[in-house]
Structure 1
């Protein structure tokens, strides 16, 4: 699909009033010269007219199959709730369309493995919205370490907030509190942040985990109704990364008055510290500091502009971060369904360790 012509994108899940597609993907696509937002799908004719007027898209289909089968679509972007991913990715792949699915790829490892196999069987590309690893600051940190600036990496620690999964939950996110939907904190916020850690420093070779549900209910903001919180709102993992790096990660549900994101990387010649106002690296602005030499002061590192692959420097932070993935597709460096499968395996290993109290590992190859 890496051609000289513009890649035509069809989006399933766009909402004219809210949502990740309208906040992140659509502004990014409109700012990228190699892409064309060509089609959207809607549930009703009225919604379709509103989508067309809001986003200025030439084609709006009143069925998902209409969009997927359209000759005006090269790549299908899926931004709906996780439980529908399996069905929609399957339809697109079987129709011979390339797919970009938001993370998580599926509700569980079994579904994710089937989808990763399906895109290969149908000879199409499958890309995954693991945006945290594609953020300019994260890609810069990876290179900064590889260049030897902090020496040999000894250890890393990450603490973060789940943003949601706390005392209050908006109605639009009420499905996330049911583990059957595969959209809990361990899947979404934790999974995306730890993917960045693994991208920069390497995967876990072995891990031990503790999970817990400390809040038994969460209150729906709009109605005041208290509903059961069935997913883990505490996830703590320790282990060894490739190369012997000692790692610890702890995520807690909600948006906190204290530390919402802190990631430290400690090396023999210096340290790196990344902070933000929330546990989603693609949503919140990252501040990167580093020291050089033992006991030297931490100083802010400016991220070189070359790491921002989006040409529109006036674009907001979120679409800029999401836009990196589209540019990385052109460079054949974007995260794929194979990367998503590794992350799903890691999550299953964490859950198994927490359930059994045993150290676990997970497979890194297909």
Structure 2
């Protein structure tokens, strides 16, 4: 701890374009309880550029040097999924707390191994399932738990992944290779199905179709046609432990219509989430509700108590900052940030969905 703050080192900060630079860095710099002490990128020059851009005291030549620094309490891993396990293991072996972006691992086995190591070493972890920190979704969860719509009968979800489109920029090429573990199924769908289960409860059984309707895509900058082997149509049906019925469909690309529509229907009313983007973890969400004699849904304002971070923060930074605030509060928070074990639970659900699609059977969880 540095002056009472959690001294944080970030692995993977690319000024101007990287996810960490536009979310984690401003979030942590606005929050009490944290100090960004160091950054490590793929080269010392890149680390120095990031450190200079964001006024971060230390630039490390690589992640190993960052993890070895005794001034670092927590390591945030914000790089591409194939590199998660190696970096997380390195940080855990150095005795650091670890935050890792979602997906935690490139598949279930990697995620289970990281969670087991963290438990064995007794180290605090956090997984980047930040939709659970969204003020809108936290309010939605409380409305349901407080009986606003009575008993939940069913829920219907339609979303656009954004990725898995006909055209992709060069920086997104890796998202079209299934071996990388980062695609429409694991990222936008994964975040959204995690939020659904956090709000409505776990699945009892699940069936699925994962289809590749676009087997190639064009690289935006060069015009090159490249193969795609990741599902761009994700259709899931199932039953929750409560008995509520689930229907969810994510499709690749962007729709000219609604890119996120999630309805929850109950015995006494209905709730609806919409957004212009299918990434529930970073989109600007609108909540509507109606019950009793209401003839239609109306926009619901989110009570001020659900937002705890600076009003100077906007867009996806808000949810990231709320997540970091929950981590700093730890067990004192009434709903702590999901750790690696929570991430493994969602990885297991995704694995079950893949098995259901592969075998054409309904999987009981």
- The runs of 5 or more residues in structure 1 that have no matched partner are none
3-state SS of paired residue (1:291): strand
3-state SS of paired residue (2:89): helix
1:329 to 2:332 alignment: no
Normalising by the residue count of structure 1, what TM-score does the alignment of the two structures yield? 0.96
- C-alpha distance in 2 between matches for 1:224 and 1:329: 44
3-state SS of paired residue (1:24): helix
Report the equivalent of 2:71: 72
- Residue of 334, 342, 346 corresponding to 2:345: 342
Report the equivalent of 2:313: 315
3-state SS of paired residue (2:324): helix
Shift of 1:43: 3.2
Closer, same or farther in 2 for the Cα pair 1:319/1:84, shift >3 Å? same
Shift of 1:221: 1.1
- C-alpha distance in 1 between matches for 2:44 and 2:294: 64
- The runs of 5 or more residues in structure 2 that have no matched partner are 331-335
3-state SS of paired residue (1:205): strand
Shift of 1:4: 8.7
Report the equivalent of 2:174: 175
**Superposition pairs of residues 246-257 of structure 1, within 5 angstroms:** 246-257=245-256
- C-alpha distance in 2 between matches for 1:324 and 1:113: 26
Shift of 1:164: 1.0
Report the equivalent of 1:230: 229
1:116-158 Cα distance to aligned partner (Å, 9 max, x none): 1011111111210011121110011000111111111110001
Contact 1:209 1:238 in 2 (8 A): yes
**Superposition pairs of residues 113-132 of structure 1, within 5 angstroms:** 113-132=112-131
- C-alpha distance in 1 between matches for 2:76 and 2:342: 17
Which has the larger displacement, 330-339 or 340-349? 330-339
Give the paired residue count. 360
Normalising by the residue count of structure 2, what TM-score does the alignment of the two structures yield? 0.96
3-state SS of paired residue (2:205): strand
3-state SS of paired residue (2:242): coil
1:301-329 Cα distance to aligned partner (Å, 9 max, x none): 1011111121x102112111111111111
1:61 to 2:60 alignment: yes
